[in-house]
Structure 1
Amino acid sequence: MPRAPGTMFIARYATLVLLLASAAATAQPKAAADTILTNGRIYTVNKGQPWAQSVAIRNGKIVAVGSPAATAKLKGAKTRIVDLRGRLVLPAFGDAHAHPLFGALSFTRCSLHKGKSLEDYQRIIAKCVADKPGTGAIYGAGWEDALFPPNGVPRKEILDSVSTTRPLIFDSVGGHTIWVNSKALELAGITRDTKDPVNGTIDRDPKTGEPIGGLQESAQGLVQQLIPPPTDGEIQAAVRYTAQLFNSLGIVAWNDAGVDFDDRGGSRMVDAYRAVKAAGQLSSYVSVSLKWKNERGMDQLPGLLKAAARGNALGIPTHTVKFYVDGVIPQKTAYMLAPYEGDTSRGAPQIDPEMMKKAVTAIDARGMHAFLHAIGDGGVRISLDAVEAAREANGAKPTAHMVTHLNVVDPADHARFGKLNTYAQFQAQWSSWYPYMELTEQAIGKKRMQYIYPAGSIVRAGGKLAYGADWPVDTADPLYGLEVAIRRATPGKLDAKPLLANEGVSLATAIEAYTLNVAHVNGMDKFTGSIVTGKNADLVVIDKDLFKLPAHEIAKAKVLVTLFKGKAVYGDWSKLAR
């Protein structure tokens, strides 16, 4: 049958149109980047591509990492081009151990952090009393154990000289001791006849038995009813305060290390995170560690699991449980393998070791992480024993357990971190010689001082590190922490006495411990912690190249810009033009 006129032309024309359309689709450039950072020194913490010069960002995600030529292909009419001028870019930092509520209240109520002497404390407290007339308690935090030699135990008389008519209640910088005046003891009903609570000590005069003003560990709870509880508004303000502070330091992720919950699964802290996040004011990722209640047993597990499920459902990752295994060394509440110097005591665990094995095994079986506060070498030993019990019972699960603080670790336990796939979670800032170390040496002697914060030994034995400042116990500044982690000495001082210099780690190891490893223990490594295509654009621009600086100048470097999901949450691009 003959074709109609023009049929052949129409068919060929249609075919040509399809081919051209297909070619056009193939040749169509990828969607343009919102921002391209170029001409920089970009350390990715990605072993497959450790260094790059440029990174492209679109819709809050990294879409290209490589050379300026590679990212230039994503340039569009509206793309912001940022010339880094050779500056260093790192993944934004994380923090595996923070206390936002305690920290914010410590600085916004009656802060003693700037005091350098007992006279300073008295002056600061007197002003707080004058600024808040009435009869209620004055509460604050931030006093240093080292100002109360030889054992870090404070005296009530110092506070009584400020006021004997109002209760004065102050947390130590570490949060393990409360310092009170006579009025607080009176109102709390604490006398020489008051028995020490389980896992706590009322510091007493050795001759008379009278309370002298220090309340250790669980004994702090004896005055808790005198402290005005924070309002919901104050808790939310604490979250915002911490986010802003951390962003200024290059931090966009943290773990809240010890959140309370009730048996119904409720938690005021989780509710605060949800409220701040819903208001668009949470410029960081947050994960929550629920606090295991040592005074109870496995009966608390159902409430804990409800709290975890509720937190996760509200968009606040709640997959970690914090265990307080022991106390601190100067006050001899940390659990040691051998007695303290000149003493028969070696402290005691705050939780029964067999109970801890059951609890860690139970949460590990449910895919949750154990976060174990252990300061003495005995506390570290039983913490690792609990993780080992869980591994044996449940097999090799991808749970990222970690032991935090690790002030003293027996050499026999160094290799166990790697074998048990358990992170050593140090406070990098603490690894230098400072007044607290004097009290520590007096308590444990010179031999055990050779086992202090053994980060280098644990890495060499196959373990991994994750850093967290325990803020507000110390500065949360990662640049400060990086220098101390490497040098084991006070930042900026070439002649500073190092604390076991051989336990320092490399800059690359320390950066990984502040970025990718924190992301892993916080359950966030799939989308943050390294500069990799497909991850969120969480970056920090530093004014100096840390890899080219002398180690003693690293803490002097400054964060210029912090990016969270591609948005500048600290600093501005104009600073980079200078």
Structure 2
Amino acid sequence: MRTAEYADLLLTGARVRSGAGRWSEAVAVRGGRIAAVGTRAELAALAGPRTRVVDAGGHGLVVPGFQDAHVHAPFAGRNRLRLWLNDLAGRQAYLDAIAEYARTHPDEPWIVGGGWAMEYFPGGTPRKEDLDAIVPDRPVFLFNRDVHGAWVNSKTLEMAGITGETPDPADGRIERDPATGEATGTVHEGVAYRINEHVVPEPTRAEWEAAILNAQEYLHGLGITGWQDAWVTPQTQAAYETLAADGRLTARVAGALWWERTRGLEQIDDLRARREQALKVRAPGHALGSGFHPTTIKIMTDGILENHTGALFEPYCDGCGGHGADDAESSESGHGAGRGLTYVEPELLAAALAELDAAGFQVHMHAIGDRAVHNALNAVAAAKAVNGPSRNRHHIAHVQVIRPSDIARFAELDVIANCQAYWAQHEPQMDELTVPFLGPERAAQQYPFASLLAAGTRLAMGSDWAVTTANPLEQLEVAVTRIDPEHRDNPSFLPLQRLTIDQAFDAFTAGSAYVNHDDQGGRIEPGARADLVLLDTDVFDPEFTANGRAPIADAKVKLTIAAGEVVYEA
């Protein structure tokens, strides 16, 4: 056999799952692609003198590289390099970490980071006085874990020009003291975003590059070989392009360019120009389909349920079973305080979908509440009415509450459900800040993954990291059990919506590859790009899942291969 015909890498000694019900024993990789899949005996001849042979010794599982369909890698990486609160729990733990960071970084003009959880503060809203006591002389800006609000000190409020007289914008809210009316230190949605964009100093190009590389290293360690970045700014796009051009971007990244909700259709020309700019960058792995691909547009259509900015058809409840007062000016598409916020009016959303679809863009819509999901589906329907069927693979992310009558429309309109499975569990934010304000009927309509799949909807999976864990194995366990892996004695959250282990894995590999327009990834078969993960445990083994257990999160990644290169090894 000629040297050129030998494998560069041979992965053997573990079960290989190439798809539901399809099993092999070994995978050979050559030139960044999968050269062969078969038994150990069949592929043994492909091992030459320069072939790296990885023998799992009869243990473990090989699956396609995981793809995250909704993640915020640059922002997560930046916080990991600065003030990272995600791994802490409780008000005092946060304050201790902030104080220590301020003490050890005396020359930083701003204290920036995030990751605090709403559940540790009354009403989910921390106060400025806590920050003022430990950092009185420098501005502090800390996004919460879901990045829909921020905790700031008095210095930041002063620099942003926010006082008790500052009105709430249409797309956000300033928390105020009920007695004095003064801003208390928590700002939501558009208020937080504008402070971040216009008051907090912008990271340099080098800082963004370092943040992406930090996130990439972490994600590769979890078996993730590609992702869709759901918030690409001009600055993070430039950093991605630099990393792709010089070969440091080893993941395949689909970039979702951020739709500015303060602008209208005129911004589409700018988005086209940004896409064209990216096409000039040819990464070393371009022929393999890797690199950076900003061919998606991200549109935020509403907020979140925990702060009552997610758009609902009926008003939020008062927490005791009744409905709160609705804004007198509310309409089905409006900004009524009782029914959440609509960030892009339905008429504009439909027009934007039509133009973006005609321009060949994929549209990635954030929709949490049932009214937001309905509006997003209507927009896709309007685009199809104008343009006819397309191959753009539009999708709706989060889909927390869906009216039963809208379930079938996903498949009818060929809309992909971009699911954040880890959220579908009992935990304080769900049980204390969400369910009481939805009421029993709407609470039972949350995260209907099984119903969507049964109706013919294609599912993709994304973490929304750093909102919650980036670990696909933890997310997959929740998709299968609807229970927190750290509290397996908890009751299952709406168990009729559980997925099978095959359905969940397919969504996090082939499903996410599909929504990321990656037709060379998400599968293990000859000719596909060699994105592979070796787990230390065969989570499909019936003995592993016996007695109703599915401890998928207990498995560990041993090896991650992206485009034929080993990018992580335990």
Say whether the fold is shared (TM-score over 0.5).
yes
For the pair 1:356 / 2:349, whether they are aligned, the reply is: yes
- Structure 1 residue 84 and structure 2 residue 56: aligned? yes
Gaps of 5+ in 1: 1-26, 261-266, 573-578
| Post-superposition CA distance 1:302-322 (Å, at most 9, x none) | 111111121233242111000
CA contact (8 A) 1:289 1:320 kept: yes
- Aligned 8 A contact 1:309 1:318 in 2: no
Aligned equivalent of 1:41 = 15
The equivalent of 2:569 in structure 1 is 571
- Which range is displaced more, 217-226 or 247-256? 217-226
Distance in 2, Cα, partners of 1:149 & 1:378: 28
CA distance in 2, matches of 1:195, 1:357: 29
Whole-angstrom CA distance in 2 between matches of 1:101 and 1:464: 28
- d(CA) in 2 for partners of 1:359 and 1:327? 19
Q: Which amino acid aligns with 1:125?
A: I
Equivalent-residue separation in structure 2 for 1:32 and 1:169 (angstroms): 54
CA contact (8 A) 2:481 2:498 kept: yes
Matched, 1:554 2:530: no
Per-residue Cα deviation, 1:67-100 (whole angstroms, up to 9, x for no partner): 2333234343433333333321000101111112
CA contact (8 A) 2:81 2:211 kept: no
CA distance in 2, matches of 1:173, 1:379: 22
Number of corresponding residues: 536
Partner of 2:424: 431
CA contact (8 A) 2:113 2:143 kept: yes
> Which runs of structure 2 are paired with 1:69-468 in the superposition (5 Å)?
69-86=41-58, 87-133=60-106, 136-150=109-123, 152-224=124-196, 225-260=198-233, 267-315=234-282, 316-342=292-318, 343=324, 344=326, 345-437=338-430, 438-468=432-462
TM-aligned CA deviation for residue 251 of structure 1 = 0.5
How does the TM-score come out when normalised to structure 2?
Answer: 0.90
Match of residue 483 from structure 1: 477
Distance 1:165 1:39 in 2: 59
Aligned pairs for 1:59-74 (under 5 A) are 59-74=31-46
Match of 1:517 among 511, 517, 541: 511
Correspondence for 1:576: none
Q: CA deviation at 1:571?
A: 0.7
Whole-angstrom CA distance in 1 between matches of 2:200 and 2:304: 23
Aligned-partner SS, 2:202: coil
Q: Confirm or deny: 8 A CA contact 1:137 1:226 kept in the other structure.
A: no
Query: Quick check: which has more Rg, 1 or 2?
Result: 1
What is the rounded CA distance, in whole Å, between the counterparts of 2:194 and 2:447 in structure 1?
Answer: 32
1:409: Cα distance to partner? 1.3
Q: CA deviation at 1:348?
A: 2.1
Name the SS of the counterpart of 2:293 in structure 1: coil
Superposition RMSD in Å: 1.9
CA distance in 2, matches of 1:73, 1:137: 59
Amino acid at match of 1:442: P
Q: State how far apart, in whole Å, the 2-side matches of 1:300 and 1:78 are.
A: 52
- Return the alpha-carbon distance in structure 1 between the equivalents of residues 191 and 61 of structure 2: 48
1:446 shift after superposition: 2.1
- Deviation of the 1:208 alpha carbon: 2.9
Letter in 1 for 2:64: P
| Cα distance in 2 between the residues matched to 1:123 and 1:494 | 30
CA distance in 1, matches of 2:180, 2:114: 28
Counterpart AA for 2:459 = L
Q: 1:168 to 1:37 in 2, by over 3 A?
A: closer
Give the CA deviation at 1:217. Answer: 0.7
- Asked if the contact 2:244–2:281 (Cα under 8 Å) also holds between the matched residues in 1, the reply is no
Give, in whole Å, the separation in 2 of the partners of 1:28 and 1:137.
60
Distance 1:30 1:193 in 2: 73
Deviation string for 1:415-450 (max 9, x for gaps)?
111111111111121111111102101221222110
In the aligned structure 2, how far is the partner of 1:318 from the partner of 1:400? 14
**Counterparts of 1:134 and 1:245 in 2: how far apart (Å)?**
28
Q: Aligned partners of 1:186 and 1:397: how far apart in 2?
A: 49
Percent sequence identity is 37
Note the C-alpha offset of 1:153: 2.2
1:195 Cα deviation after fit: 1.7
